[in-house]
Amino acid sequence: MEKLRKVHCKNCGRLIFRSARRFNENIKLGNNFYCSKKCEYEYKTDKKILKCEKCGTKFVRQPSKISHHNYCSRSCAATINNEKCSKRCAELKICEHCNKGFRKSTNNKKYCSQACRRRAVRRTPEDLIKVIRESAKRLKRVPSKREMGSIDDCCRKVFGSWNNAVLASGLVPNRSHAARMYKRINAVATDGHLCDSISELLIDNWLTKNEIKHERSALYPDTNHRADWGILVGKRKILVEYFGLANDSPRYDRVIQEKIKLCAKNKIALISIYPKNIYPKELLEVNLRNKFKDILLT
């Protein structure tokens, strides 16, 4: 039978017995003896054992987090703080939404809970429609969902979706940015040019009809941007763009500004055509002649 050796727990001092093999091994390695894992943890950790000032429960806390008053939980801390500030907390308030009584330490609280606050400030359908119409009038176009982030969630809860809210306001919803930017309807002009929309087809056919030589997808200098058409008058290069989605997509508007700056930087003439210049179709001839009058006179 293996001989046992008497040792004392390094943490609590309790007398314990260890086998000679374990005893010799610990002495050789310089390890301490502990009666339990709990004592080993308490001795090795730098945390301090404290006693709650409210309920007397013992708890462990890092030295850096020890203050003048220590509590085992927020409940105990709140109880003590409320007792010390009883005059401030004794005021009974009435919730403006559910009319229930509640006690709050701050003076600007109107509602007993976040749920009551959300229900109280919920907008009516009439309020949402009014905001959408005012925004459309200010922007001179239908506002996008991202631009109305403050009421987006309310619109989805009341109307089911943002587009439904726009329809309820008597406006036509915008297409998604992906559809506006990339969805194209290909059409072939009379001169064989492939156009990305019916509007471009009308412009291309008008150029052909008036014997204005043009090429499709002309490159801007030092960039990958392409213009809808390029026209060469003598040695002078003129770019023609149909900005059909202007004021309809923030990304598209940024691209328009980039192209205008490129033309100004490289001293290239740019003819900008917008939907108002070709629709209604009865005005297409007059409007385009005004746009290309300098070219028609040469």
Provide the residue ranges of all domains of the chain, joining segments of one domain with +: 4-45, 85-119, 122-174, 180-297
pLDDT at residue 115 greater than cutoff 80: no
pLDDT band at 178 (very low <50, low <70, confident <90, very high): very low
Angle formed at CA 204 by CA 199 and CA 207, multiple of 5 degrees: 130
Query: Which of 82-96, 203-217, 246-260, 281-295 has the least mean pLDDT?
Result: 82-96
Does residue 36 sit in helix, strand or coil? coil
Tens of pLDDT along 9-24?
988 889 999 888 888 8
Q: Tell me, what amino acid is at 53?
A: E
**Stated length of the chain:** 298
pLDDT at residue 183 greater than cutoff 60: no
CA 116 – CA 120 distance, rounded (Å):
6
pLDDT of 215 reads 93
Angle formed at CA 160 by CA 156 and CA 164, multiple of 5 degrees: 95
Topology annotation, domain 180-297: Endonuclease; Chain A (3.40.960)
pLDDT of 182 reads 45
